[in-house]
Amino acid sequence: RRPGRGRGAPRTAETAQRIKRSRRLKANNRERNRMHNLNAALDALRDVLPTFPEDAKLTKIETLRFAHNYIWALTETLRLA
């Protein structure tokens, strides 16, 4: 058990609200960072997938489906070679 995390002095309503808001802000920041990382990974994946026309930006689900199909096609090409 970590020190300072137990059931010490009772919290006031104001302190509880501050803690709740602080936790929510931290959770929002974690989610925002997670989404930024996911979008960066999808952008990197889009860069290596051949698309026609070149300027077409695939949606997230289109990118994943295209990558799956592209990997399958490459695997089949190697298997048949």
Domains of the chain (ranges; CATH) run 14-80 (4.10.280.10)
20-66 confidence digits (pLDDT tens):
999 999 999 999 999 999 999 999 999 999 987 877 889 999 999 99
* Residue range 8-30: mean pLDDT, rounded: 91
Q: Which amino acid is at 6?
A: G
pTM of the model: 0.73
* Residue 35 burial class via C-beta count within 10 angstroms: exposed 0-12, middle 13-18, buried 19 and up: exposed
pLDDT of 2 reads 61
